[in-house]
Amino acid sequence: MPTNQYFQSGNGIGNAAEQRLHEDLIIESLRQFGHDIYYMPRTLVNKDIILGEDVASRFDSAFPIEAYFETTQGFAGQQELISKFGLEIREDTTFMISKRRFNDLVDSKVSLIKEGRPNEGDIIYLPLMKSFFEILFVEDQEPFFQLGNLPVYKLRVTRWEYSSEEINTGVAELDVAEDTYSLNQLNYQFTLENEVGSIVLENNNVDNEIQYLLLETYSLQTQSSYAGNNDFESEAGFDTADTTDNILDFSEANPFGDPGDFN
């Protein structure tokens, strides 16, 4: 066991001041040689408790933090791969972030599924490459107890395959990805209704009368003199105060709705 009195207080594990200094030097190095990234915690919307996944995940926040590219020679993984499903991009890398900086900037009971550490499934956005990466694994014991502490996380990540998740972080550079690549039909619905009940897609004519692009009401009109639309409506009892349906009756005396009046 090392007993040098000038280092690690002579007990081989370091004291609190030495550990703090070591951590400060790491944070300074990350800021000097690393890159600014955005950490995007995943919010589960409808988790499948059997498969343990949520295809309707969304991302409501993004936290800037510095990270270091550990794979400085380029991406790891299988790179570009031609398979029966077409071209697949499998580019993996490792980001190193400070534990203290993560706790100060990102760690939150509200934003993280599991607080106290980065979560697998969360997303990292690298502005330098304008790319999204998904966290596959969080290594929290490497390097192994230098000076008796673990000051960094190593995030094993891969290119994120976007699947129309909602991105509403408030950062325009991130949110534009949903507008560009999303296939969610709700983003392209033809009409919307606001909280007061009026249709958003509407047009005012010269007389300042609202002309709706799509009408949500209907009126039964007879297009031909031989059509019996109005007669059917009248017989059905839809245009009278009487709620008795003369064509289909679902009262207690006629639970199967056979035609006829059983009252």
Considering the domain boundaries, does residue 240 fall inside one?
Answer: no
Average pLDDT on 124-141 reads 91
Q: Is 210 exposed, middle or buried (0-12, 13-18, 19+ CB in 10 A)?
A: exposed
Considering the domain boundaries, does residue 198 fall inside one?
Answer: no
Average pLDDT on 54-73 reads 86
- Residue-wise pLDDT tens digits, 176-204: 888 888 877 666 655 555 555 555 555 55
pLDDT at 103: 92
Domain that holds residue 107: 8-183
- Residue-wise pLDDT tens digits, 200-237: 555 555 565 655 555 555 555 555 666 666 666 666 65
Q: Are strands 58-59 and 123-126 parallel, antiparallel or unpaired?
A: unpaired
Read out DSSP for 100-121?
HHHHHHT--TTT-SSTTS--TT
Separation CA 188–CA 178 (nearest Å)? 12
Q: Would you call the peptide bond into 127 cis, given omega within 30 degrees of 0 as the criterion? A: no
- Residue-wise pLDDT tens digits, 229-258: 666 666 665 554 555 555 555 555 666 656
Compare 60 and 149 and report the one with higher pLDDT: 60
What percent of the chain has a predicted confidence (pLDDT) above 90? Answer: 26
First to last CA, the chain: 98
Instruction: Indicate the length of the chain as a whole number.
Output: 263
Considering the domain boundaries, does residue 196 fall inside one?
Answer: no
Separation CA 40–CA 93 (nearest Å)? 17
Considering the domain boundaries, does residue 249 fall inside one?
Answer: no
Q: Please name the helix (run of DSSP H) or strand (run of DSSP E) that holds residue 36, with its range, or none.
A: strand 35-40
Considering the domain boundaries, does residue 113 fall inside one?
Answer: yes
Query: How many CB atoms sit inside 10 A of residue 196's CB?
Result: 5
User: Are the C-beta atoms of 37 and 95 separated by less than 8 Å?
Assistant: yes
Phi, psi of 143 (to 5 degrees): -65, 155
Average pLDDT on 21-45 reads 91
Phi, psi of 247 (to 5 degrees): -100, -50
- Residue-wise pLDDT tens digits, 68-123: 988 777 676 666 666 666 667 678 889 999 999 999 999 988 888 888 899 999 99
pLDDT band at 262 (very low <50, low <70, confident <90, very high): very low
What are 192's two structure tokens?
């919307």
- Residue-wise pLDDT tens digits, 147-168: 778 899 999 999 888 888 889 9
Considering the domain boundaries, does residue 222 fall inside one?
Answer: no
Phi, psi of 66 (to 5 degrees): -90, 145
What is the rounded average pLDDT for all residues in the chain? 75
Phi, psi of 149 (to 5 degrees): -135, 170
Considering the domain boundaries, does residue 163 fall inside one?
Answer: yes
Considering the domain boundaries, does residue 44 fall inside one?
Answer: yes
pLDDT at 53: 76
pLDDT at 144: 79
pLDDT at 1: 46
Domain count, the chain: 1
